[in-house]
Amino acid sequence: MFDWNDMRYFLELARRGKLAAAALRLGVDHTTVSRRIAALEKELGVELFDRENRAYKLNSDGRRLMAYAEKMEASSLALMDEVAPVASGPQGTVRLSTPEAFGSQFLVRHCMGFRQRNPGITLELVAETRSLNLSRREADAAITLARPSHGRIVSEKAGVYRLRLYAAPSYLQQHPPIVSLPDLKHHHFIWYVDDLLPLPELQMLDKAISDPHVIFRTTSVTGQANAAEAGLGIALLPCYLADRIKGLTPVLPSEISVLRDLWLVVHDDLRPEAHMDRVCTFLTTLIASERRTLLGAR
């Protein structure tokens, strides 16, 4: 029987890809991570990573173990929610800024567990796809699509999410078949209002598709998803949102796959505070444990 605690080291190395990054996250020396991974591989009798230029990439055995390790992680979090005694814990309010869909369609579904473990902390969620200024204290922390380049802030890459093309079956049945990328020139698209695009990181449709024929625009990602579900056209949507909508199906998922970073940004003065640390730990753990949802279940 292997040491269950080694799964923590395995998960972090699988997600970070390098010993130093995993060690920093775990608060240990990189040699400790290396030793625990070696012990886990010895106990299981298989190698879990391909090692190239100090980078660690999951091999087929590692990917199989990853599925079980993530279930173990999710179960341990659920266990804490159900049976761990609730202590008074840190007190305070954290105003968190996130992109619209990430906050309203993903994050809020997981806030109950945070509240149960941290009854003294109030979250104020500003789910808008625009950047609030942490230096001016418009928000205390933020999930952003790019790493800020200035200001008194602390930032770390929290994870990634994927966008794919989605459409309603009713739309696909009434329009020419789509079997390859050139077929998309005959179709209608749903996208942002260009001159109101809140973030340059959202300029993705033209990069993914050559000269898309956009027939409907809205500043809301949720609105784009609803329009696509109604059969209006094809939309480039986050998988964590679109995969939950039964009335949408992926279009050319192997050919069109856009990855975007998620960054956790905190005002420098607040990062050491106990209540802020709880929020940061909640966000990074959530994004890591929901990696499959963020990257697309299909």
Q: How many CA atoms lie within 13 Å of 286's alpha carbon, on the beta-carbon side?
A: 20
Rounded mean pLDDT of the chain?
Answer: 86
pLDDT of residue 133: 65
Neighbours of 192 (CB within 10 A): 23
Residue 99 has pLDDT above 60, yes or no: yes
pLDDT of residue 297: 66
pTM: 0.69
d(Cα 64, Cα 58) in Å, to the nearest integer? 9
What residues have CB less than 8 Å from 140, skipping those under 6 apart?
94, 95, 96, 134, 266, 267, 270, 276
d(Cα 298, Cα 71) in Å, to the nearest integer? 18
Residue 210 has pLDDT above 90, yes or no: no
Q: Which residue has the higher pLDDT, 186 or 25?
A: 186
Residue with tokens 């005002």: 267
pLDDT of residue 190: 94
d(Cα 253, Cα 251) in Å, to the nearest integer? 5
Of 44-53, 137-146, 227-236, give the lowest mean pLDDT range: 137-146
DSSP state of 212: -
DSSP state of 13: H
Residue 54 has pLDDT above 70, yes or no: yes
pLDDT of residue 287: 93
196 to each of 191, 200, 201, 224, how far by Cα in Å? 11, 11, 13, 15
Query: Given the DSSP bridges, would you call strands 258-267 and 188-191 parallel, antiparallel or unpaired?
Result: unpaired
d(Cα 109, Cα 105) in Å, to the nearest integer? 7
Looking at the DSSP bridge assignments, the partners of residue 154 are 266
d(Cα 97, Cα 127) in Å, to the nearest integer? 6
Residue 209 has pLDDT above 80, yes or no: no
Are 141 and 114 spatial neighbours (Cβ–Cβ below 8 Å)?
A: no
Of 50-54, 126-130, 138-142, give the lowest mean pLDDT range: 126-130
Question: Whose CA is closest to 202, among 193, 211, 213, 215?
Answer: 193
- For Cα atoms 180, 185, 189, give the angle at the middle one, nearest 5 degrees: 105
H-state helical runs in 93-245: 100-101, 111-117, 169-173, 205-208, 221-229, 239-242
Question: Whose CA is closest to 261, among 139, 128, 163?
Answer: 163
Are 219 and 128 spatial neighbours (Cβ–Cβ below 8 Å)?
A: no
DSSP state of 145: S
Crossing angle of helices 6-16 and 60-83, in 10° steps, is 120
For residues 17-39, average pLDDT: 88
d(Cα 276, Cα 266) in Å, to the nearest integer? 9
pLDDT of residue 88: 59
